[in-house]
Amino acid sequence: MADKKEMPIGGVIPEGGTAHGYSTGGWRKLRPVLNKEKCTNCLICWVMCPDSAIITEDGKMIGFDLEHCKGCGICAMECPDKVKAIKMEEEAD
């Protein structure tokens, strides 16, 4: 939307899937950090993440999509008590 004259009338978003291109990671204050050794790949974090920011491969949790993770900490909270493989750390640190 570089040319303002070509902005769609009435703020219509003229195609689907555009949320992907909107980096909400910049809102993050706390960053999730995964301890792979503790993780059991139960994927509760993947189920609970409101921003679909848990990246999986072959049914295994491999990390976070930090372009879209807002740092809400739900993944760390939901990670089972016996496991606690996700820790939230200050972005500033």
Which residues lie near other proteins (CB under 8 A)? 1, 4, 7-16, 18
Q: Which one, of 31, 33, 25, 27, lies nearest residue 69 by Cα?
A: 25
CB atoms within 10 A of CB 7: 11
Task: Give residue for tokens 């993944």.
Answer: 75
CB of 7 to other proteins, least distance (A): 6
Tokens linked to 76:
């760390």
